[in-house]
C-alpha cells in the first residue's frame, strides 16, 4: 500500500512541476549517481572480506548502473536541445532525433535486463557460497563468475536487440522521414513490460526472502564454528558481511519494480482507452519519466547501502572522508570489543587473538586479495 501511494504521489506531484525542472532534477541525480558508482567501483576492486566471484559481479552491477545513468543523462541532455517538435525542421534533424531515440531505448532496455540478471546471479552465488562452503572457500578464482557475467551481458543485450528489431519491422524508426515522438518499449509493448515487471516483483520477493534465510543460516554457522578451521570460519564471516548489504539492496530494487508496475498499469490502461497517438504520449509524459526514473532512484540508494552495511567498504569510506576533511586518515577507527578467541588455522595450529579480523587478513591475504 505504501509503495502504491508513493508511486501515485510521485506522479501527482510531478504534474505540478514544469518538464524542464523535472528533467533538470533527474539529470542532477544521474550525475550524482555516476560519481558515487565510480567511487564504489574503485573501492570494490580493493575491498576485503568479499570473494572474487562476488566482487566481479558487484563491479559488473555497478558498471551497468553507470551505463544506465549515463544513458538517461544523455537522453535528458537531448531534451534541452529539442524541447519542441518545431525545433526539428530539416530531414537530417528529424532522422537524428529518431535514431537517437532508438539508441537510447537499446541502452535503457539492455542495462535494465543486465541489472536484473546480475542481481539474480549474485543471490545464486551467495547460495552456492552457503551450501558449498567447504569447497567454495578453497576456490579463489573468478573464472566461473567471468563466464556468468559474460552470459548475463549477452542475454541482456540480445533480448533488448530482439524486441527492438521486431518493433523496427513494424515502424522503421531508423529511416523514418517523420518525427517519431517515442519508440519506448512501454508504448509499443505495454502488456509485455507489465508481465516482465510483475514476474520481477514476485521473483525478487522470493529471492529477498531467500537472502534473509541465507543471512541467518550463515550467522548461525559462524557463531557455532569456533572450533572450525580458520578458512571455513572466514567464509561464513564473508557470507554474513556481504548478505548484510545485499538484503536491503534487493528490497529496494523490489520496491522500485513494484512502483514501476503501478506506473505501467496506468500507462497500459490509458493506451488501451485512448490508443497510441502523439496526444497519448504527451499526456503520459510525466508518468513515463517517473517510470524511467525508478532505476535512477534505486541507484541513489544502492551506493549508500553498500557502503553503510559492508564493514570494509564503510571503513574505507570513513578514511577517505577524513582525508577530504583534512583530518588524519591514519587514525585507527574504533573497533568493537571482542573477547579473546581461539581459532584453528589450515595447518592445525591454534591461534589466539583479541581481534579475529586481523587473523583473517594476515593468514588469508594471499588467497582473498
* CA distance to 59, 205, 207, 222, 301, per residue, from 306 (Å): 12, 20, 18, 22, 9
Domain range for 302? 2-329+340-368
How many structural domains is the chain composed of?
1
Lowest mean pLDDT among 60-69, 75-84, 331-340: 331-340
* φ, ψ for residue 128, nearest 5 deg: -65, -40
* CA distance to 7, 9, 16, 89, 268, per residue, from 13 (Å): 10, 6, 6, 34, 21
C-alpha cell at 240: 554474513
Do residues 33 and 123 touch, judged by C-beta distance below 8 A? no
Position 279 in a domain: yes
Position 334 in a domain: no
Do residues 212 and 123 touch, judged by C-beta distance below 8 A? no
Task: Give the E-state strand segments of 170-277 in sequence order.
Answer: none
Position 90 in a domain: yes
Position 26 in a domain: yes
Whole-model pTM? 0.78
Burial letters 25-43, b for 16+ CB under 10 A, else e? ebbebbeebbebbebbbeb
Do residues 352 and 341 touch, judged by C-beta distance below 8 A? yes
DSSP secondary structure letters along 280-332? HHHHTHHHHHHHHTHHHHHHHHHHHHHHHH-HHHHHHHHHHHHHHHTS-TTSP
CATH number reported for the structural domain that contains residue 164 in this entry: 1.20.1070.10
Residues in a beta bridge with 229: 344
Tell me: the pLDDT tens digits for 100-129?
Answer: 889 989 999 999 999 999 988 888 888 888
Position 344 in a domain: yes
User: Which pLDDT band holds residue 67 (cuts at 50, 70, 90)?
Assistant: very high
C-alpha cell at 151: 552470459
Position 335 in a domain: no
- Helices 143-170 & 91-131 angle (0-180, nearest 10): 150
pLDDT for position 117: 92
- HSE-up of 155 (CA within 13 Å, CB side)? 14
Among 104-113, 172-181, 202-211, the range with the most confident prediction by mean pLDDT is: 104-113
The count of residues in the chain is: 369
pLDDT for position 331: 52
Of the chain, the percentage scoring pLDDT greater than 90 comes to: 22
pLDDT for position 139: 67
Tell me: the pLDDT tens digits for 254-303?
Answer: 899 999 999 999 998 888 888 877 788 888 888 888 888 899 999 999 99
User: Which pLDDT band holds residue 5 (cuts at 50, 70, 90)?
Assistant: very low
Do residues 276 and 167 touch, judged by C-beta distance below 8 A? no
C-alpha cell at 49: 572480506
H or E segment at 341?
strand 341-344
Amino acid at each position: 500500500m505504501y509503495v502504491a501511494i508513493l508511486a501515485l504521489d510521485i506522479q501527482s506531484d510531478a504534474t505540478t512541476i514544469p518538464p524542464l525542472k523535472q528533467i533538470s532534477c533527474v539529470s542532477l541525480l544521474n550525475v550524482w549517481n555516476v560519481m558515487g558508482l565510480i567511487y564504489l567501483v574503485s573501492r570494490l576492486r580493493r575491498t576485503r572480506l568479499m570473494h572474487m566471484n562476488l566482487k566481479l559481479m558487484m563491479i559488473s552491477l555497478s558498471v551497468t548502473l553507470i551505463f544506465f545513468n549515463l544513458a538517461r543523462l544523455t537522453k535528458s541532455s537531448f531534451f534541452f536541445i529539442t524541447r519542441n517538435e518545431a525545433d526539428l525542421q530539416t530531414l537530417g534533424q528529424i532522422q537524428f532525433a529518431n535514431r537517437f531515440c532508438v539508441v537510447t531505448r537499446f541502452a535503457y532496455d539492455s542495462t535494465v535486463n543486465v541489472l536484473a540478471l546480475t542481481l539474480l546471479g549474485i543471490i545464486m552465488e551467495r547460495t552456492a557460497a552457503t551450501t558449498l562452503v567447504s569447497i567454495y572457500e578453497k576456490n579463489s578464482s573468478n573464472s566461473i563468475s567471468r563466464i556468468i557475467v559474460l552470459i548475463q551481458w549477452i542475454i541482456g543485450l540480445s533480448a533488448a536487440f530482439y524486441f527492438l528489431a521486431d518493433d523496427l519491422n513494424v515502424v522503421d524508426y531508423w529511416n523514418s522521414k517523420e518525427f517519431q515522438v517515442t519508440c519506448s518499449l512501454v508504448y509499443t509493448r505495454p502488456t509485455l513490460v507489465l508481465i516482465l515487471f510483475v514476474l520481477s516483483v514476485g521473483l525478487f520477493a522470493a529471492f529477498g526472502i531467500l537472502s534473509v534465510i541465507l543471512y541467518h543460516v550463515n550467522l548461525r554457522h559462524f557463531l557455532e564454528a569456533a572450533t572450525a578451521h580458520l578458512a571455513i570460519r572466514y567464509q561464513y564471516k564473508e557470507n554474513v558481511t556481504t548478505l548484510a548489504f545485499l538484503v536491503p539492496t534487493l528490497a529496494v530494487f523490489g520496491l522500485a519494480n513494484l512502483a514501476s508496475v503501478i506506473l505501467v498499469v496506468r500507462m497500459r490502461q490509458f493506451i488501451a482507452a485512448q490508443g497510441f497517438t502523439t496526444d497519448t504520449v504527451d499526456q503520459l509524459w510525466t508518468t513515463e519519466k517517473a517510470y524511467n526514473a525508478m532505476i535512477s532512484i534505486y541507484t541513489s540508494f544502492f551506493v549508500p547501502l553498500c557502503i553503510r552495511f559492508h564493514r570494509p567498504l564503510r571503513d574505507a569510506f570513513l578514511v577517505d572522508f577524513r582525508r577530504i576533511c583534512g583530518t588524519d586518515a591514519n587514525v585507527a577507527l574504533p573497533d568493537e570489543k571482542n573477547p579473546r578467541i581461539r581459532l584453528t588455522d589450515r595447518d592445525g595450529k591454534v591461534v589466539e587473538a583479541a581481534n579475529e579480523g586481523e587473523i583473517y587478513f594476515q593468514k588469508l591475504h594471499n588467497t582473498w586479495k
